Structure 1
Amino acid sequence: MSTNYDLTLQKKTEILLNEHVYPMLKHYPNAEKFALCQEIKQTFYRILRNCALFKNAAAQHKMPYLRAIDAELQYGKILFNISRDQRYITKKKAYFLQMQMEELGRILGGLMRSVRTY
């Protein structure tokens, strides 16, 4: 039951992390390097980890990994809102990141629907 959605979710997460999040985090103040920055990175790592676990899980055990990814996406949005409120990122950058996270959420929703039908 491997679909293109699971690969797409993982690849788009990697691209978002490497091309947008890492460069953005370099501009955070030093006081946040081991707090907010670390939490944002860990959120993305957990998403990628759950993508890998999802791909290798038996069909009847896939849904918990998708729910974990959904929770991490929601948490990531909250962290980006905090970054915006603290003025570590601009409103435009925060909006862009929110849209990217919502795209990942739509892909995830498709995966959840396909897992439920099995």
Structure 2
Amino acid sequence: MPPKQGQLLVYQKYVDLINYSYNLLQKFPKAEKYAMVAHLKDSMFTALKVILQANKVYNNQASRIERLNSLDAEVQLQKVLVRLAHQNRYISNSNYMEWSRRLDEIGRLLGGWIRQTVGKNI
């Protein structure tokens, strides 16, 4: 889905990731509903909140960089949890590849945002 006018591309990609992952999370074993699934959901919504917060920081580049680094850590955590879900066979190879591809794309967008913000700070 193309981003709406005025929306960050990383925000729209992240919303798309949440929609994609929700279908998969519903299929996890019951034993993981309050463990891995809860951690993934919490991390995804934390990351979405940080995207919105970082976008609202206008005059304090250090604060924006801090938020973007926090967001990067959340994305890295999600990559690890998705890899563990695949290793435990909670998701198929194709689901793992797609989920990882989406996280990698978000990571690249985030890296560009960080570089752009650091460049303004010099």
Say how many residue pairs are matched.
113
Mean alpha-carbon deviation: is it higher for 9-18 or for 54-63?
Answer: 54-63
Partner in structure 1 of residue 119 of structure 2 = 117
Give the TM-score normalised by the residue count of structure 1.
0.90
**Long gaps (5+) in structure 2:** none
**Long gaps (5+) in structure 1:** none
Instruction: Among all aligned residue pairs of Structure 1 and Structure 2, give the percentage whose two residues are the same amino acid.
Output: 27
Give the TM-score normalised by the residue count of structure 2.
0.87
Q: Report 1:34-113 matches (<5 A).
A: 34-57=34-57, 58-60=59-61, 61-113=63-115
Deviation, 1:59, is 3.4
Instruction: Quote the Cα distance in structure 1 between the aligned partners of 2:39 and 2:89.
Output: 17
Which of structure 1's runs of 4+ aligned residues deviate more than 3 A? none
Instruction: Quote the Cα distance in structure 2 between the aligned partners of 1:63 and 1:42.
Output: 22
Deviation, 1:69, is 0.8
Mean alpha-carbon deviation: is it higher for 44-53 or for 6-15?
Answer: 6-15
C-alpha RMSD over aligned residues: 1.4
Instruction: Quote the Cα distance in structure 2 between the aligned partners of 1:116 and 1:30.
Output: 44
Highest RCO, 1 vs 2 (Cα 8 Å, sep ≥ 6): 1
